[in-house]
Amino acid sequence: MTEPHHAPEPSERPPQKLAVLGGGAFGTSLACAFAQRFPEVGLWLHEPEAAAHLAASRRHPTLSWMPRLGASIKPSADLSAVLSGATYVICALPTDVYGSFLATHANLLPAAPLYLMASKGARLGADGAVETPRRWLAATLAKAGHREARVALLSGPSFAREVAEGRFTALVLAHEASERLLDDATFLSGPKLRLYLNDDPVGVELGGALKNVMAIAAGFMDARDFGENAKAAFIARALAEMTRLAEGLGAKRDTLAGLSGLGDLLLTCHGAQSRNRTFGEHLGRGLSVTAARAAAGGVVEGEKTAAAAYAAAERLGARAFIAEHVHKVVSGHISPSVALENLSEWSPVSEHL
């Protein structure tokens, strides 16, 4: 009798290599979280001095809370070395960096790995369409002849510090053919970091981007101590707005009720570690946009995503009251106080509009 053939367990795979592009908070945290799954993790930093410091000291030069890097993590400013032999590539760069990064390094990007886009942001393209890092990367790979390259999304409620500390986190791995990523999700998941499959990358990327806009408005409310009742009502209305916009841009409605929509929205609107919420709170307390950005302590993706969300809503003819007011605040047209007053006086409509 012939023994049935069993697919090898993830642990039976040949040695894998992970490359992480971006040595900021989230990129470094993901490198720490996945280090136990890979014998080698290449971590690319743009600044040679920072890479050298991190490689020598094993301590992040600007993030004092970041754990000491494990031996398998290899920080470097040499992109070719970091990408060489990689079977997975996590892209965790700030959204505004992708244009210059892809223009400069497109020829170095290999076709073979599974690319995992971990950046959460959106911008308005010249043709009026909403553009995202995933789409830029996919287009660059295709132009380089890598049309079969796989680009998936890695998103969900995940503060970098808790990811780095090994606290339980659930993320979404999204791709149009998500069923083909089951082995990858199984391999990458661990006891404290679980990956769930999703076949709607449009919804996942828009949920991750739009929640940052909503978190800025939540910060306005925190600055004025609106209270938990108001915050709960706001989150419900924010989710409805996110869902309207995402559906109009091609997403599935159910996706926004999941980890990368509701889950990420709850975390970002409530959490003290949220840069977008903190940015909004500083604006609400009277700081300028420049000062609030500096006080938030990192990239505030929602600031520019608000412009793309508002413009998309105008083009779609969709209601986007929150995105409109956040955009007008960060562009200097109204104050947070006026925005809150307008939001508080929002005319009653059907809850589902």
Catalytic residue positions, numbered: 211
- Answer yes or no: are the C-beta atoms of 57 and 127 closer than 8 Å: no
3-class state of residue 341 by DSSP:
helix
Distance between CA 21 and CA 132 in Å, rounded?
A: 17
* Pick from 29, 21, 184: nearest CA to 92: 21
Residue 205's contacts (CB-CB under 8 Å, 6 or more residues apart) are 117, 120, 122, 132, 134, 153, 155, 174
Distance between CA 7 and CA 192 in Å, rounded?
A: 24
Distance between CA 60 and CA 244 in Å, rounded?
A: 40
Residue 30 amino acid letter:
L
Distance between CA 35 and CA 75 in Å, rounded?
A: 12
Distance between CA 45 and CA 61 in Å, rounded?
A: 12
Distance between CA 56 and CA 32 in Å, rounded?
A: 16
